[in-house]
Structure 1
Amino acid sequence: MIIKTLASGASGMRAHQLRLDTIGNNIANINTTSYKKSTPNFGEIVRQALGEEGVAVVTEPRPESGAGVRLISMARVIDQGDLINTGLDLDLAIAGQGFFKVTSPFEDDEQEYYTRDGSLSIVNIDGETVLVNPSGYKLVWDGELDPETYQSYTVDEKGTVWGKRFSDGQREDVGNIELFTFPAPSNLASKGSNLYLATEASGEETSGVPGEDSFGAIRSGYLERSNVDLASEMIGMIEAQRAYAANSRTVQTADEMWDRANNLRK
């Protein structure tokens, strides 16, 4: 029983340490554009009914003894964050469901990534004028930019990109930005820098026009804040610290009992 108690207390300490680490990471990213907080999900390792040997049992059904907890999954909470006005035409926020698709600027990385960070800028890469996110990843969209023809660009709620011509100041449709959704977006794999990868658990992507069907609308001149609520994270941190301390005392008490048992003199 003492060994079981030690193992159970140690698993509880590991679980709440992981919870503290996750909360700390959430708080650290509270000002990161479109950051989605994480939350760990735990489950019992195993429960075993107490038998007749070792511990007397007089009740039915027989009481059970647990063996600790383990991490089941690290879930991403895909809730909408507040939108903040930046006034910049190429700052795009998604009001609702969906992700932008981007590709890596590195030739050896052929992965397709997804993000809700729509802070875009225009750069020239190898002679091509493209839209990139703050990490330099290129936006995947149906169109191209012509800096010799257009002086500026705007994006409407449907994802249509409009270029303002130098010649007469009139707007012209130069392409469209699609959004992508998943059956289980909380199971996307985080790759850092606000980038996600599709997984078997997240399901396959579905593309669509912003503002139609289940896709969110694009808000030009806005950025999405993180969905981290500082108050709830602080409460969770206090709970995790107290639970960690309780499991630590369990381990300490079991260790003291084991020490006394080993030093009994007949």
Structure 2
Amino acid sequence: MNMSFYTGAVGAYMQNQRMNVQANNIANVNNYGYKAERATFHHLMYGNVTGIDDEQLPKGTGTKMVKASVDYETGGYTETGFTFDFAIKGDGFFALYDPSNGEISFTRDGAFMMARFEIPPAEDAEPEIDPDTGEEIEPQNTIEWRLSDNEGRFVLDPAGNFIVIDPLNREADLNIGVFDYRIYDGMQHADSGRFNPVDKNGDLYLGTGTVIRGYLERSNVDLAQEMVKVIESQRAYSYALRMVQTTDEIEQTINGLPN
């Protein structure tokens, strides 16, 4: 009897986890470059027990959500006409460098901007002499405008360098890098549209996708499909709780029987 109680409890908890995945998809339905996740389940320990007349009876403890698989299909494109909006037609990702921790992550969200960055002078830089007063002028920071994701990370070119923008010529062509992995499975979904690679993804190489300017890739979340899955999860959740309640009622009845 306890087995059905635990099976129902595990089922309710896993359906709650599944609804979290669907809620995250719905929350990101309008975020450019977002890739929908799909809850993947796997059965727990299953086997057979010997019943009356040596009949083999199934025995199990339910299922578990093992991971949220990512759907990397393209969700289509939206023309924005903005100077620093980019999309990748084909395979590949944009590379983003985070100067705060040195992390390099990848995204399909090309909603970039021009960000101001100050480069400190070299440690051995000599002070300049003012020709009028003869006073020493301490070396100053150099101002550089880089292509950024508006969250403090910088976009990289195919050689892994920062993309520097001329503020007086913003329409100039930019050599934005497109990078790719042969295996996508296992990539960690960071925030809404970024991914962090793992060892199983293999070696990084230059992707075959083409960068198009003035466009953004839409999310590939199908809202209607997600709502249907939410209803499925809610009903499965209620059925699992009903199993727990029924098991508890049966045990109370058995325990209340006279000896």
Q: What's the TM-score bracket when you normalise by the shorter of the two chains?
A: 0.7 to 0.9
* Structure 2 runs not aligned, ≥5 long: 119-142
Residue 50 of structure 1 contacts residue 57 of structure 1 at CA under 8 Å; is this kept in 2? no
1: CA distance, partners of 2:10 / 2:172:
53
Match of 1:116 among 94, 99, 108: 108
Matched, 1:138 2:154: yes
What whole-Å deviation, never above 9, does each CA across 1:162-218 have from its counterpart, x for those lacking one?
xxxxxxxxxxxxxx222111122242112215221111233332224xxxxxx2221
Does residue 99 (structure 1) correspond to residue 93 (structure 2)? The answer is: yes
Displacement of 1:94: 1.1
Cα contact 2:147–2:154 (8 A) shared by 1: yes
Q: 1:69 aligns with which of 58, 63, 67?
A: 63
Equivalence map 1:3-18=2 (5 Å): 3-18=2-17
Residue 129 of structure 1 pairs with residue 145 of structure 2: yes
* 1:235–1:154 Cα change, 3 Å: farther
Q: Is the 8 A contact 2:97 2:155 kept in 1?
A: yes
Report if the CA contact (8 A) 1:77-1:186 is conserved: no
Uncovered stretches (5+) of structure 1, i.e. residues with no partner: 156-160, 162-175, 209-214
> How high is the TM-score relative to the length of structure 2?
0.84
Deviation at 1:73, TM superposition (A): 1.8
Superposed CA offset, 1:62-90 (max 9, x none):
23112111222221111101200101132
Report the alpha carbon displacement of residue 147 of structure 1 after superposing the two structures with TM.
2.6
Partner of 1:28: 27
Residue 79 of structure 2 corresponds to: 85
Provide the rounded CA distance (Å) in 2 between the counterparts of 1:78 and 1:154: 31
How far, CA to CA, are the matches of 2:53 and 2:32 in structure 1?
57
- Which is higher, the Rg of structure 1 or of structure 2? 2
Secondary structure at 2:232's aligned position in 1?
A: helix
CA contact (8 A) 2:34 2:192 kept: no
Pair 1:11–1:182, CA change in 2 (3 A): same
1:249 match: secondary structure = helix
The answer on 1:205 being equivalent to 2:224 is: no
Are residues 1:232 and 2:251 paired?
A: no
Give the total of aligned pairs: 232
Cα distance in 2 for residues equivalent to 1:22 and 1:252: 26
Q: Take 2:92 and 2:53, find their aligned partners in 1: how far apart are those partners?
A: 56
Of 258, 261, 266, the residue aligned with 2:251 is: 258
**Deviations for 1:135-183, whole angstroms, at most 9, x for unmatched residues?**
22100115653537x522344xxxxx2xxxxxxxxxxxxxx22211112
Q: Which residue of structure 1 aligns with residue 189 of structure 2? A: 190
RMSD: 1.7
Report whether the alignment pairs 1:152 with 2:151: no
Per the normalisation by structure 1, the TM-score is 0.82
